[in-house]
Amino acid sequence: MARPKIALIGGGQIGGVLAQLCALRELGDVVLFDIVENMPQGKTLDIAEAAPVDNFDVSVTGTNSYKDIAGANVVIVTAGLPRKPGMSRDDLIGVNSKIMTSVAEGIRDNAPDAFIIVISNPLDAMVTLCQKVTGFPACRVMGQAGVLDSARFQAFIAWELGVSVRDVNAMTLGGHGDTMVPLVRYASVNGIPVMELLEQKYGSAAKAQEVMTAMVERTKAAGGEVVKLLGNGSAFYSPASSAIAMAEAILKDQKRVLPTCALLNGEFGVDGFYVGVPCVLGAGGVEKIIEFKLDATEQALMDNSVAAVKELVGSMNL
């Protein structure tokens, strides 16, 4: 049986880590595309030459031609500029929407059956544009933001409570921007509410709330925290790992429930917009959007986040 094929559009910081992770996990043969000549060929040659050490039997090649992505099962898009310190994700919309349009045309014309996972920022707008240009069904075009935003929230909770990250469950909803909604009420350590554990630790509900609020705020600003420290570019290891989890769920039909930027059809009161919500990811792509009850405060935060996404998407005049 032929191995799956994964095309990575954009061979920069995230693209390089994606290629290496695909190889290390033997998810399939990898083609790394970039408009910069020789760079994707150089990166993939470097990765491929580690195969005898890492023992992977997939091919990893670089290209400047969209023809080489033909037959891709999954395409992950990172093409576009990253933020510089002081910039918001939304500041990237002008330049990145031009790039996304050409990328989406390249995918549409060369890999018409692929599932697409968009990573480029501003995420919610870039996924919307990608789906419009390709015309692919919405279940095949999705964005990665929530897996990472949730992972950051989970990491902060694990560090605070001194427990393994593996036992922390927590999720963010909404857009991939300052308005994202980390869900406190559902955050748990193996089902035990995090707020209860914080109250035990600090002996006071007020202090527990203060600590949680700080973690929520850190989650919302976590991308910027890394941008500031790096000084040049944005996070790339964790975004790559997050997109790989989504690609793996699709390629292996895992039916994982992952926060995904998906096109909503009335769920959570949102119609016709891409927003981050929990979805079942499997061989059919976004197989199901999981809706659940938000309380009034959570719904208000979600509405606020959706309003920000709508404004951003509206500015593209699609």
Contact between 41 and ligand TXD per CB under 6 A: no
Q: At what angle do helices 13-24 and 39-48 cross, to 10 degrees?
A: 30
CA distance 283 to 139: 10
Find the part of the chain contacting ligand TXD (CB under 6 A) among 66-74, 94-102, 109-117, 251-259: 94-102
CA distance 117 to 187: 26
Burial of 139 (C-beta count, 10 Å sphere; 0-12/13-18/19+): middle
How would you classify the pairing of strands 192-193 and 188-189? antiparallel
Contact between 224 and ligand TXD per CB under 6 A: no
Cβ closest to ligand TXD, residue 10 vs residue 189: 10
CA distance 273 to 264: 6
Task: Choose, by CB under 6 A, the member of 20, 73, 110, 121 that binds ligand TXD.
Answer: 121
Contact between 148 and ligand TXD per CB under 6 A: yes
Distances (CA, A) of 271 to 73, 77, 310: 28, 25, 11
Q: Supply the minimum distance, in Å, between the C-beta of residue 105 and ligand TXD.
A: 10
Residue nearest to ligand TXD (CB): 12
Question: Where does the chain have alpha helices with state H?
Answer: 13-24, 39-48, 51-54, 93-110, 123-134, 146-161, 194-202, 205-220, 222-230, 237-251, 296-314
Contact between 83 and ligand TXD per CB under 6 A: yes
Contact between 236 and ligand TXD per CB under 6 A: yes
Cβ closest to ligand TXD, residue 78 vs residue 134: 78
Residues annotated catalytic, as ranges? 176
Query: How many residues of this chain bind ligand TXD (CB under 6 A)?
Result: 34
Distances (CA, A) of 139 to 102, 260, 281: 21, 11, 9
Cβ closest to ligand TXD, residue 81 vs residue 163: 81
**Sole residue written with tokens 């670089």:** 62
Site string for ligand TXD, 164-203 (x = CB under 6 A): ------------x---------------------------
Q: Supply the minimum distance, in Å, between the C-beta of residue 183 and ligand TXD.
A: 18
Task: Choose, by CB under 6 A, the member of 5, 20, 32, 34 that binds ligand TXD.
Answer: 34
- The strand pairing partners of 282, in sequence order, are 285
Q: Supply the minimum distance, in Å, between the C-beta of residue 119 and ligand TXD.
A: 4
Binding site for ligand TXD (CB under 6 A): 9-15, 34-36, 78-83, 92, 96, 99, 102-103, 119-121, 123, 144-145, 148, 176, 233-236, 239
